[in-house]
Amino acid sequence: MADKKNKTAGKHKLALTHIDVKGEARMVDVSAKPATERVAVAEGQVVMTKATLDLIESGNAKKGDVLGTARIAGIMAAKRTSDLIPLCHPLALSKVTLDIEADRRIPGCRVRASVKVSGPTGVEMEALTAVSVACLTIYDMIKAVERGVRIEGIHLVEKKGGKSGHYLVTDTASEP
């Protein structure tokens, strides 16, 4: 419940901000919060065979430009996050950058989104949504070629701004 605080890792007190005292979901009121510059970065990857990665890099995928299409899909998704995630505030995003690169060591594609806003609430969900939809788009465009494609490791990498300041992930299992 919102009025109960839990101790986590002995140093943080956390409460679920989107749950009221009755245990019901609610949208947080951010009307009294000042607009500040906020940035969030998220990343993930799509794992595939080297042969499928070769097909993407050559531009010969049956559905077209896989990376370009995924980039646009991720940007569009960031802008539509509040339509997809019920309690997210609609935000006028200042900038969305989506970087997708082929990585032969995986083998697969690394996807990284950076989202910026001047507003009363953060853009972590927008960055995570951008990465998720870009990865799903890659999957959709190559699933006919390879059934074993995997989407992995979608997580927040960094956030800046707001009252919580700067947060940089050093380990995906770490606490905020």
pLDDT, tens digit (0-9, with 9 covering 90-100), for 131-157: 999 999 999 999 999 999 999 999 999
Report yes or no on 25 lying in a domain.
Answer: no
| Token pair recorded at residue 6 | 């839990």
- Establish if 136 belongs to a structural domain: yes
Which structural domain, as residue segments, surrounds residue 62?
36-162
Of 153, 159, 145, the residue nearest 172 (C-alpha): 153
Alpha-carbon distance 98 to 128, whole Å? 11
Annotated binding site for substrate: 87-89, 125-126
Domain count across the chain = 1
Catalytic residues: 140
- Token pair belonging to 119: 């507003």
User: What pLDDT is attached to residue 14?
Assistant: 65
140 within a domain of the structure (yes/no): yes
Task: Tell me whether residue 8 is in a domain.
Answer: no
CATH of the domain at 73: 3.30.70.640
Write out pLDDT tens, residues 95-122: 999 999 999 999 999 999 999 999 888 8
Binding residues: 87-89, 125-126
Domain membership of residue 176 (yes or no) is: no
Residue 16's pLDDT is what? 67
156, part of any domain: yes
Task: Name the pTM for this structure.
Answer: 0.84
